Structure 1
């Protein structure tokens, strides 16, 4: 069972990493024409903080079988690479943790004591949802626990819970029931919040084909908040289940925080085997770091 969990989570992590790395290429103006033509930009594609933090999620799950907050915060700090695109608040926090600071105090103090409502807790969490395939209650509980290590605002926590729930449902061997049922079930387990409201709108927009139109309503991460990011990313994932390529092209076409929306959507669709990224896309993506566990048993 642990090996099955590991392989599902690793597949999701690879989907997250490919989405993150490819999405990050479209911050470079010279690569815009590739996106318009749906052509892959030149390799190698380097992933960002989204993937680096997701790797810590998997490592802690393999070690403990659940989220251990102290170990997760320590892993985030120990593997923190300033050049991976972290936001300034998290950069400072992880440096202070590495220097002996208490993550609980530091995370709670962010943004004048409100905590961060950024999309960072959601961007890294899809592999956890895949780990808890079919167990939405445990997936959302563990996602909430994981979020608090860096993001303690209600919206950030709700965003992490939503992504974990979606990945757990997509990874469920019993099936996810399709786009409408998937988002309905995610809405059921996410607490009342702006994220929750955005997910309800996303559910109502599943018949829309144009990602730009949907992003104009839901947001696409331009403000890097959870509620400006998660509903759109889960709309893209739900609407294109089973096709990693279509998911990523549609998600990226809307612009915004492209690496993060593609990381979330890619991690969710890759939670099931049918949505795994193509081999040639994985080959173009920077390899996962050597400290990521190679097996889960």
Structure 2
């Protein structure tokens, strides 16, 4: 993999962390004024499980050049920090992996054998898409492999594929228009609720108000892939073609939509980070450093 793609993945991870940490502030009491006035919450901003798991994805790609599922599962388990906001099912599964359990069996048995359709596979995958930007089909396939370690439900896998392809397309050089951007993402996503939501989101590209888009698409309130990913791709598409101030505007759009704000901001940040300049220093300086073990 070329250095350019390596750099795109690192930029995506860094922007994902800023988005995650920013969005997480809006679960803190007293931040409503910051949202109303678009003033930054006070430092420090801590990132959540979204960033911690994305660091594992990035580290495995640097070490292996692809998704080695056993290595990624081991990294997820070894670096799991309960205080980062993991869901109970993921926490229990990763503890069992640390105790010697087989991630394949454990993931498949979640939710009475249906597998998780949460947004956790999508929240961590944007750096992978940036890494495989030269081939969106490979990005989609590797995203699916990264997802099924913890999320075997088809909708969760579809959500991860959508975000990875979005980041892959974003990382490429050349003109990028919202409509064609959506078309390329949708072409790689299997039929289902995520696919349908993306199609609806494309129809809403003329909508200006993120609250209206979130009302129709969902913004992670249910913490599912299908009520998270369409809105995030909509927000990313609206801002990818604009460079100056685009990251900041996209983040305010995301938190205006409510819902699972750290995850929507992480996904949008990861996609934008694959293409745009880094977030401004006034944002980056408020965020805790990425862990040394990530290699970023």
Normalising by the residue count of structure 1, what TM-score does the alignment of the two structures yield?
A: 0.97
Structure 1 residue runs of 5 or longer lacking an equivalent are none
Shift of 1:134: 3.3
Which runs of 4 or more aligned residues in structure 1 lie more than 2 Å from their structure 2 counterparts after TM superposition? none
2: CA distance, partners of 1:61 / 1:4: 14
2: CA distance, partners of 1:279 / 1:132: 27
2:238 counterpart residue number: 239
2:294 counterpart residue number: 292
Shift of 1:16: 0.5
Shift of 1:11: 0.3
2:200 counterpart residue number: 201
Asked if 1:277 is matched to 2:279, the reply is yes
2: CA distance, partners of 1:29 / 1:179: 35
1:85 counterpart residue number: 85
1: CA distance, partners of 2:8 / 2:56: 16
2: CA distance, partners of 1:14 / 1:290: 13
1: CA distance, partners of 2:72 / 2:159: 18
1:253 counterpart residue number: 256
1:227 counterpart residue number: 226
Asked if 1:100 is matched to 2:100, the reply is yes
2: CA distance, partners of 1:278 / 1:41: 15
1:54-106 C-alpha deviation (Å, 9 max, x unpaired): 00000000011000000000000000000000000000000000111000000
Mapping of residues 82-231 of structure 1, within 5 Å: 82-175=82-175, 177-231=176-230
2: CA distance, partners of 1:279 / 1:173: 24
How large is the Cα RMSD of the aligned pairs? 0.9
1:112-161 C-alpha deviation (Å, 9 max, x unpaired): 00000000000000000011113111100000000010000000000000
SS of residue paired to 2:41: coil
2: CA distance, partners of 1:173 / 1:214: 28
Asked if 1:262 is matched to 2:265, the reply is yes
Structure 2 residue runs of 5 or longer lacking an equivalent are none
2: CA distance, partners of 1:279 / 1:130: 22
2: CA distance, partners of 1:193 / 1:21: 31
2: CA distance, partners of 1:76 / 1:112: 22
SS of residue paired to 1:181: helix
2: CA distance, partners of 1:77 / 1:5: 27
